Structure 1
Amino acid sequence: MVDTTVAPPSLRALLARRDLRLRLVVGEDDLPVGSIDRPVRWVHSSDLVDPTPFLSEGLVLLTTGTQFADTDDYTAYVSRLLARGVRALGFGTEVVRDGIPAGLTAACLAGGMPLFEVPYRTPFIAVARAGAEAIAAESYARRSWSLAAQRAVSLAALRPDGLSATLAELSRQLDCWVGLFDAAGTLSTEHPAGGLGAVALDVVAAEVTTMLRRGTRAASTVRPSDTSVSLQTLGRGGHLRGALALAADDLDHEARSVVTAVVAMAALALEQQDGLARAIGTFRAGLVQSLATD
């Protein structure tokens, strides 16, 4: 179940802040789909001709255009930003020059770089603060979701069909296919049923079998289709009980913490099941021997 209570940090989220009065100049109609919805890691400002040595990927960069007094090579400037992974460029107007240079607009349009205007009455610090607030809000929402999700899978483990219920809850929380393979590499439980596809399932099962034969705890990833499948063996080295598979891309730290909790629960449940099976086997053997003696 994907958390949707907080909009993720993105250029779209910044533009939605009416108090900032930002105006998109090169936007959705001129850019690849999803360009203004990509996650933003921070908002930074610089008037350097080449600020890229001081930037990290995923930033929104703000500038007043001072650097363009010495050069009008807008294409090279935008190309450097794109190569560094800058998400969007904000131009503060009426500070150094009136409006946005036509050459910069053309370069952003040609390169597919979102460009927006920051009006004179909106200080850069206000835009940066709005970005920081959005990042903090998303981080808090994800942590809250993670705690709620771990509680949900823990409660599911208390049901009569605890292991299956736990995996079903994990599938619901992550909105993805989840499969449990036994010690022989056979799929024993999946949620939702048939959610992976026969061909992809064969690829995953083959990788699980290989991992289990090695006999050591391990994790692996296969990509039999458009979605990658993460695999994690269950149990102790030399005594593996099976493997857990999830068809999910790019799980963040909070989602991985939920998966880690389920891996521990599943391993414990399989150990208990194996111990119970051995106890029942011993009891039956003793009963048969006792009846034979009598």
Structure 2
Amino acid sequence: MPDPAVPPTPPVPLTALLAREDLALRQLAGPPAEDVVIHWVHTSEMADPYPYLLGGELLLSAGVHIPEATGPATTYFDDYVARITAAGGAALGFGVAPVHDTVPEALVAACAAHGLPLLEVPPRTTFSGVARAVWQLMARARLAELRRVTEAQQSLATAASRPDPVPSVLGRLAQRLGGWAALYGPEGTEIARAGREPGGSTAVSEAYFAKLIGVP
């Protein structure tokens, strides 16, 4: 499965989308929503959407592409879902109007077999409404992220203005990271540290910090 070309916006947990009462989406198959995130929304009625997917999408379809002669003995749905998962699609939303009254059972089975989350989109919910909800959730997550970054910067600036700036900054940084922070000199000698002592990964952590300051 290809890695999605992740956009510069926070992903949307599928649980957040399912929690929107105005959308009334219902998951019919696939892994738990807690394990799924959405990076994009794309609508397509192509029988093979693979060439048009970047990965990480919630793909929306009303099933216009499904042949009328499709029966339980055909592999149409299995092939269709296999191509979505091969492209890295995150989930499939199937609209039950205006073409289909219900989600085809063969599609449910195919999504379950390939581990692709399948969402039922009710008649009253438009695809544009689903897309708008995703962008709204992304915007809220982005705003919350910017607030956290701003608060962290202000906190570090305040710590740096204290009489003991080095331990103050390291202590605040370790608190923000939920771990430990260290300051190394030009020769790679540790000058100060703060936070919980590292465990068995000390060597790896020290090498990482050395790399950050440009020590070979």
Q: 1:60 aligns with which of 28, 41, 58?
A: 58
Distance 2:191 2:203 in 1: 14
2:203 aligns to what? 202
Query: Per-residue CA shift, 1:215-240, capped at 9, x if unaligned?
Result: xxxxxx5xxxxxxx794116xxxxxx
> Residues 95-244 of structure 1 correspond to what in structure 2 (within 5 A)?
95-194=98-197, 196-197=198-199, 199-205=200-206, 207=207, 231-233=211-213
What amino acid is the match of 2:203?
D
Q: 1:117 to 1:230 in 2, by over 3 A?
A: farther
Q: 1:166 to 1:127 in 2, by over 3 A?
A: same
* Contact in 2 for aligned 1:22/1:116 (Cα 8 Å): yes
Q: Please give the secondary structure, in 2, of the residue aligned with 1:20.
A: coil
Query: What stretches of structure 2 of length at least 5 have no aligned partner?
Result: 1-9
Q: 1:203 to 1:133 in 2, by over 3 A?
A: closer
TM-score normalized by the length of structure 2? 0.83
Q: 1:18 aligns with which of 11, 15, 21?
A: 21
1:260 aligns to what? none
Percent identical among aligned pairs is: 37
Distance 1:150 1:122 in 2: 41
Distance 1:107 1:11 in 2: 20
1:276 aligns to what? none
TM-score normalized by the length of structure 1? 0.62
1:272 aligns to what? none
Distance 1:201 1:186 in 2: 14
Q: 2:41 aligns with which of 43, 47, 56?
A: 43
2:3 aligns to what? none
Larger Rg: 1 or 2? 1
Distance 1:14 1:204 in 2: 37
Q: Please give the secondary structure, in 2, of the residue aligned with 1:185.
A: coil
Deviates more, 1:36-45 or 1:152-161: 36-45
Q: Please give the secondary structure, in 2, of the residue aligned with 1:117.
A: strand
Question: How much does 1:58 deviate?
Answer: 1.4
Question: How much does 1:52 deviate?
Answer: 2.2
2:7 aligns to what? none
Distance 1:202 1:155 in 2: 31
* Contact in 1 for aligned 2:98/2:123 (Cα 8 Å): yes
Q: 1:50 to 1:144 in 2, by over 3 A?
A: same
Q: Please give the secondary structure, in 2, of the residue aligned with 1:77.
A: helix
Query: Per-residue CA shift, 1:93-120, capped at 9, x if unaligned?
Result: 1321121111111111111111110001
Question: How much does 1:204 deviate?
Answer: 4.0
* Contact in 2 for aligned 1:156/1:162 (Cα 8 Å): yes
* Contact in 2 for aligned 1:36/1:114 (Cα 8 Å): no
Distance 2:87 2:177 in 1: 31
Distance 1:115 1:176 in 2: 38
Tell me which protein shows more helix as a share of its residues: 1
What amino acid is the match of 1:232?
L
Distance 1:11 1:204 in 2: 33
